[in-house]
Amino acid sequence: MNKFKKLYYCLMFLPLVITLISLIFLPDLIPAHFSGDKADRYGSKYETLLLPVLTILFGYFLLTMGKESSKKETQRNNNNEQISVITGLCTLLVFNILCLYFLYVDFHKITNLTQVPVDLFSLLFTVLGITFIIIGNYMPKLKLNSIIGLRTSWSMKNETTWKKSQKFGGASFIILGILMVIGNVFFFHNMESFLITMVLLGIDLIVSVVYTYFMAKKYSN
């Protein structure tokens, strides 16, 4: 757990460290906002600090959620906090990629994102797909709590519905993650990656919620 925590804090503060160093070399005026692929606003290079600060805040938020879910769980061998940290690691990795990507854009004064060698959407959603695969593997190990996991009024009906729901949710996340990785590596690009990923995620969410309903109906007694 300590190793995970050390890596977690590294990923949480790394964007800030890299950005502070980059400020020395960045031009004073950078592309600050994009509409589609094209820059439609320019701003001070110090605006690059917004994403690192957001990364730190989000990192602490996830840590707090993990601790709270751990407190609310009274069973022995509670691993909710550890799973929250691992999930947070994957999420923070996405923030780190975003930070490096936009620093590259700012340093080279790129005004059209199609000029960047790597497609941002494909990269992000590939990493997100890997994240879903990792989360899916850990979900069946989650203890009943009111903060993290596949939580509906039906899945939290009792221990049986909770375990069944997390097992199903974990499997569906793994399948979703595999589809996202394959799709974004070989087939989807730009906004297509975003739209198709959102559709897949929406279908997965609906199916998972419906499953919790049937589990609660089956094991309500």
Domain limits, the chain: 2-219
pLDDT digits (tens, 9 = 90+) for 75-90: 544 566 667 777 788 8
pLDDT at 68: 67
Average pLDDT over the chain reads: 83
Smallest Cα–Cα separation from 81: which of 98, 65, 102?
65
Give CA–CA dist 141/168, Å, rounded: 12
Q: Bridge partners of 179?
A: none
Side-chain-facing half-sphere of 124: CA atoms under 13 Å: 22
What is the model's pTM?
0.72
pLDDT at 2: 63
CA geometry: angle 97, 99, 100, nearest 5 deg: 65
pLDDT at 20: 93
Give CA–CA dist 48/30, Å, rounded: 9
Smallest Cα–Cα separation from 86: which of 143, 132, 152, 145?
132
pLDDT at 77: 47
DSSP label at residue 142: P
pLDDT at 144: 78
Distance, first Cα to last Cα, the chain: 37
Q: Which stretches in the chain have pLDDT values below 70?
A: 1-3, 36, 66-82, 145-147, 221
pLDDT at 76: 47
pLDDT at 66: 67
